[in-house]
């Protein structure tokens, strides 16, 4: 009896936390409606008078570095006002390829430099900081290796620096390989929630937003005034964004101008990326939230910043809910707990909030939004399946366990006809980590919940048991499958 009560209390606690964070989607949709018609001011005409440095941080990106350099050199901007820095920390064949490409572009008249560090001190933050020491530009544009900026990128972004306190302009990510696989389609749906709704709403409502690490332009003075790039978190972009806005700098987010990029096409690379983003956000929250709450910022900004930086705390509670789901089926059918389960029905609001949030994110920018939203149940299952990976990231972030900046490898896979196993020679050394075995065990465990729900005719609980089972099993299966590809099998 006592154990049953502990399980019930823990489950209700988990659902309460999930409800609080998920229901924040209702607030985002409220602000979305309220500020939807607000437009950012911009300068008229082409802007050719500013000197711009484009930084390209690269680390072992053999497949995409040529595409990156070529696309950057095609940007429509006067060569005498443009500097390009290839910040190359590579330790493989990428180094020689990048060096050769830079020499070729120099002969074409570009002011382009190949800056190579033998020691990867500070990872990406260290590379950006090193390049900034010699950067000529008053404005710094940054593109990761998997991005393909449009020719009018600088013309479209620089005109929004209408005031001296505007420190950064961020563009929305577009997905080059969204239709490659179910994995990339789900990623696109998830990212659109952030880029279409969250970033837009926060910016227009006057809340803090973040530079997304790439696809944006900084005022060099802003970077330096905010304390430059720092490597004490593994989300240096989020960290600098908050430090800059605390110093009074303003950001502009452009929802309707996009910068194409390649999504991870391989599960273990995606897990490494999600781990980095999740852990880095927790590290940044620990670093910045005390400063935010001690500042003179309005309460509404402090509160929204807290939600923004801590929303990854949901993952341990998703995991706990998934584990407790199974014994709850038996508890419900063996004890006098019906009133508790009747109260739990209120938690369906969390599902409704999430659904509406992503619905508006797709509907605002895509004509085929109905087709994309058909994937929502799979997206929810995938979010549950990532609970082990991301819970570990949350715990490490809370415990201040430092880890390396693990890159997200890309293979220039943009078409469904491209084959991942044709890239064996350069596939990342990321392996299926132990979490894949835990996910597999949890998949079997959650299947017990599926069977029990059917046996006891708990039809209302069955969809959630199925999503946990499908989430853990699919994430584990793809982790092992893609790890096998890396061995050349």
Which of 464, 463, 371 has its CA nearest to residue 185?
Answer: 371
- How far apart are alpha carbons 276 and 268 in whole angstroms? 12
Annotated catalytic residue within 88, 144, 146, 237: 237
Identify the DSSP state of 264: P
Q: How many CB atoms lie within 10 A of CB 80?
A: 10
Annotated catalytic residue within 88, 89, 146, 239: 89
Please give the backbone phi and psi of residue 69, each rounded to the nearest 5 degrees, phi first.
Answer: -65, -40
228 to 88, 113, 210, 234: CA distances (angstroms): 19, 21, 15, 15
- How far apart are alpha carbons 306 and 200 in whole angstroms? 18
Q: In residues, how long is the chain? A: 489
89 is catalytic: yes
CB 282 within 8 A of CB 394: yes
Q: Which residues contact 381 (CB under 8 A, 6 or more apart)?
A: 466, 467, 468, 470, 471, 474
- How far apart are alpha carbons 75 and 72 in whole angstroms? 5
- How far apart are alpha carbons 195 and 305 in whole angstroms? 17
- How far apart are alpha carbons 337 and 344 in whole angstroms? 11
3-state secondary structure of 57: strand
88 is catalytic: no
Catalytic residues: 89, 237
């Amino acid at each position: 009896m006592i154990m049953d009560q502990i399980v019930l209390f823990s489950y209700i606690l988990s659902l309460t936390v999930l409800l609080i964070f998920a229901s924040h989607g209702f607030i985002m949709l409220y602000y979305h409606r309220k500020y939807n018609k607000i437009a950012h001011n911009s300068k008229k005409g082409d802007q050719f008078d500013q000197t711009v440095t484009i930084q390209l941080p690269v680390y072992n990106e053999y497949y995409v570095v040529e595409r990156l350099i070529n696309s950057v050199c095609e940007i429509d901007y006067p060569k005498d006002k443009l500097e390009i820095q290839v910040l190359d920390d590579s330790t493989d064949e990428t180094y020689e390829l990048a060096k050769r490409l830079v020499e070729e572009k120099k002969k074409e008249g570009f002011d382009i430099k190949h800056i190579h560090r033998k020691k990867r001190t500070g990872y990406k933050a260290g590379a950006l900081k090193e390049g900034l020491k010699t950067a000529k530009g008053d404005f710094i544009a940054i593109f990761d290796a998997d991005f393909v900026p449009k020719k009018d990128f600088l013309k479209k972004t620089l005109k929004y620096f209408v005031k001296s306190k505007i420190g950064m302009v961020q563009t929305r990510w577009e997905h080059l390989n969204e239709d490659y696989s179910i994995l990339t389609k789900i990623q696109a749906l998830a990212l659109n929630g952030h880029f279409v709704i969250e970033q837009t709403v926060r910016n227009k409502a006057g809340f803090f937003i973040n530079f997304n690490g790439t696809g944006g332009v900084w005022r060099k003075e802003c970077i330096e005034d905010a304390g430059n790039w720092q490597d004490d978190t593994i989300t240096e972009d989020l960290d600098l964004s908050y430090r800059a806005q605390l110093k009074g700098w303003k950001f502009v987010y452009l929802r309707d101008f996009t910068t194409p990029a390649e999504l991870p096409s391989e599960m273990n690379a995606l897990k490494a990326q999600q781990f980095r983003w999740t852990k880095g956000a927790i590290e940044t929250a620990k670093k910045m939230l005390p400063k935010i709450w001690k500042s003179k910022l309005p309460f509404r900004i402090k509160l929204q910043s807290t939600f923004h930086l801590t929303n990854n705390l949901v993952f341990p509670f998703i995991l706990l809910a998934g584990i407790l789901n199974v014994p709850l089926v038996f508890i419900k059918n063996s004890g006098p707990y019906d009133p508790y389960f009747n109260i739990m029905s209120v938690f369906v609001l969390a599902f409704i909030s999430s659904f509406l949030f992503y619905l508006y994110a797709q509907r605002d920018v895509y004509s085929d939004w109905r087709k994309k939203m058909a994937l929502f149940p799979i997206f929810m299952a995938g979010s549950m399946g990532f609970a082990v990976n991301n819970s570990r990231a949350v715990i490490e972030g809370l415990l201040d366990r430092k880890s390396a900046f693990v890159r997200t490898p890309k293979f220039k896979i943009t078409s469904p006809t491209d084959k991942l196993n044709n890239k064996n020679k350069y596939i990342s050394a990321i392996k299926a980590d132990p979490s894949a075995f835990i996910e597999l065990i949890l998949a079997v465990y959650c299947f017990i919940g599926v069977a029990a729900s059917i046996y006891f005719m708990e039809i209302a609980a069955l969809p959630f048991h199925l999503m946990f089972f499908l989430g853990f099993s699919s994430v584990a299966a793809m982790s092992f499958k893609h790890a096998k590809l890396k061995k050349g099998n």
